[in-house]
């Protein structure tokens, strides 16, 4: 069976179980458990066991967001399916429904991301990015956290389009000057080096937005993430930036649980994604000026922990504090163990565990006891975040310098549909 055929059969298997779990192989109790929650990505892994593929391979065809759309659509169509004539077999109906919805979903994704996007045009893209990331992290461990954060802060503002990398111009204010980024977002010089190396090897080919996505993955892997996931590529670079939108879209360190869920929801991410992506705070540093402003008002952290932070930061107001005081330079699950001890250094961290009745509490507990579960979900949530697309109609390009838009003609521009 070809890879393409296998991927489609995964979708058929998914549809079959959602519509009529008894039609396909496997434990019906396991199937019912898997589809009882809106988590189709879990079920994709189950289906892959039957069709000899890696769980993340499906993302080369569809994203989690697509599958959630399909899941919702199938749920709303169950009544319709049940009205089909009895002469049609159940599998025929499922395959037909899969085909219709598959093409409907894919037709909305005019610029689909794929893992092999640069295989023909820049086959060395991954090795070049990895080499530069390894050198940067070897020089400064903190840089791993900085590069992971750049991808996150880019995607949350009008999609993953490299807008964060643009410097000020006469046409717009840079997102770097937004409060969430000012004196905080860093690693731009590393991105510059990667871009220069790629331009030398493959001119006018690899977008800055894609560089951010690859560098984020490689940085996390360099300091401990063992679930190295497939990075999907094919993004375009924006022609503008928006400090205003950055102010409106980026989560703040003093947000409570409700505000965070709302913030992530606006870009299509759920509460599990929120907890998993927050786990990136297992590495990195935070400015004491920020902590003195917010953390000391955090009623959810324990008093001894708060006193120690206050003492350290008052001794050096311009200094930095580790976000994870246990293993600050290792990508692991210590962040979640810290939350269980009420030692989340930011309000936006500790609220994930301290908000009574929140779904995030159980997720934090799971990740604290199961590092593999955290690593797997971090990969899935990062892929999902990486698929946040710019607004329809927005034009993009492949920048030759990540800090400025090209002076190219409009003929080289491409619009998102």
Q: What is the CATH number of the domain that holds 225?
A: 1.10.520.10
Residue 373 or 3, more confident? 373
The mean pLDDT of 109-130, rounded to a whole number, is 90
State yes or no: pLDDT of 323 exceeds 90: yes
Q: Are both 62 and 157 inside the same structural domain?
A: no
Whether 177 and 210 map to the same domain: the answer is: yes
| Binding-site positions | 154, 157, 159, 161, 163, 175, 251, 281-282, 324, 327, 332
Query: What are 266-290's pLDDT values in tens digits?
Result: 999 999 999 999 999 999 999 998 8
Say if residue 128's pLDDT is above 90: yes
The model's confidence at residue 13, banded by pLDDT at 50, 70 and 90, is low
Predicted local distance difference test score (pLDDT) of residue 88: 45
pLDDT attached to residue 39: 38
The model's pTM is 0.75
Distance in angstroms (rounded) separating the CA atoms of residues 45 and 49: 7
Indicate whether 119 and 53 sit together in one domain. no
**Which of 237, 218, 206, 234 minimizes the C-alpha distance to 403?**
237
pLDDT of residue 202: 97
Counting the structural domains of the chain, the total is: 2
Task: Tell me which of 73, 107, 141 is where a domain ends.
Answer: 107
Question: Do 87 and 229 fall into the same domain?
Answer: no
Mean pLDDT of the residues in the chain: 81
What pLDDT was estimated at residue 50?
A: 42
Whether residues 182 and 198 share a domain: the answer is yes
Domain boundary among 107, 132, 160: 107
Catalytic center residues: 153
Mean pLDDT of 42-66: 43
Q: Are residues 10 and 133 in the same domain?
A: no
196-227 per-position pLDDT tens digit:
999 999 999 999 999 999 999 999 999 999 88
Note whether 87 and 170 are same-domain residues: no
Residues 87 and 189 in one domain: no
Q: Between 5 and 228, where is the model more confident?
A: 228
**Domain stops at, among 107, 142, 176:** 107
Q: Are 320 and 288 in contact (CB under 8 A)?
A: yes
Domain limits at 73?
3-107
| Same-domain check for residues 88 and 154 | no
Q: For position 42, what pLDDT does the model report? A: 41
17 versus 56: which is more confidently predicted? Answer: 17
Do residues 268 and 247 both lie within one domain?
Answer: yes
């Amino acid at each position: 069976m070809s890879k393409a055929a296998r991927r489609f059969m995964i979708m058929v298997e998914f549809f079959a179980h959602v519509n009529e779990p008894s039609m396909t192989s496997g434990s019906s109790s396991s199937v019912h458990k898997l589809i009882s929650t809106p988590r189709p990505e879990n079920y994709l892994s189950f289906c892959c066991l039957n069709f000899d593929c890696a769980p993340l391979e499906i993302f080369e065809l569809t994203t989690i967001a697509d599958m959630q759309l399909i899941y919702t659509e199938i749920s709303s169509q169950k009544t319709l399916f049940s009205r089909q004539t009895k002469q049609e077999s159940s599998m025929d109906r499922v395959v037909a429904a899969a085909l219709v919805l598959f093409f409907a979903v894919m037709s909305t994704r005019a610029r689909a991301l794929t893992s092999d996007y640069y295989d023909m045009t820049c086959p060395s893209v991954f090795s070049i990015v990895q080499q530069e990331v390894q050198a940067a992290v070897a020089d400064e461990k903190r840089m791993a956290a900085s590069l992971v954060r750049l991808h996150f802060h880019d995607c949350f503002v009008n999609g993953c389009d490299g807008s964060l990398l643009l410097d000020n111009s006469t046409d717009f204010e840079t997102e770097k000057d937004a409060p969430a980024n000012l004196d905080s977002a860093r690693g731009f010089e590393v991105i510059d080096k990667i871009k220069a190396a790629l331009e030398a090897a493959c001119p006018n080919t690899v977008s800055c937005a894609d560089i951010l996505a690859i560098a984020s993955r490689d940085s996390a892997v360099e300091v401990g993430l063992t679930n190295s996931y497939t990075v999907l590529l094919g993004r375009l670079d924006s022609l503008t930036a928006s400090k205003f939108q950055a102010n409106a879209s980026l989560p703040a360190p003093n947000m409570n649980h409700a505000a965070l869920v709302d913030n992530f929801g606006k870009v299509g991410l759920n509460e599990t994604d929120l907890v998993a992506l927050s786990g990136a705070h297992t590495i990195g540093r935070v400015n004491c000026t920020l902590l003195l402003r917010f953390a000391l008002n955090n009623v959810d952290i324990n008093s001894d922990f708060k006193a120690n932070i206050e003492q350290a930061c008052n001794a050096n107001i311009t200094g930095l504090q580790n976000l994870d005081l246990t293993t600050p330079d290792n990508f692991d699950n210590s962040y979640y163990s810290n939350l269980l001890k009420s030692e989340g250094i930011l309000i936006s961290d500790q609220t994930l565990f301290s908000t009574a009745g929140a779904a995030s509490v159980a997720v934090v507990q799971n990740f604290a006891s199961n590092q593999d579960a955290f690593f797997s979900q971090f990969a899935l949530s990062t892929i999902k975040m990486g698929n946040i697309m710019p607004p329809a109609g927005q034009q993009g390009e492949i920048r030759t310098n990540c800090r400025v838009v090209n002076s190219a003609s409009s003929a080289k521009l491409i619009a998102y549909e």
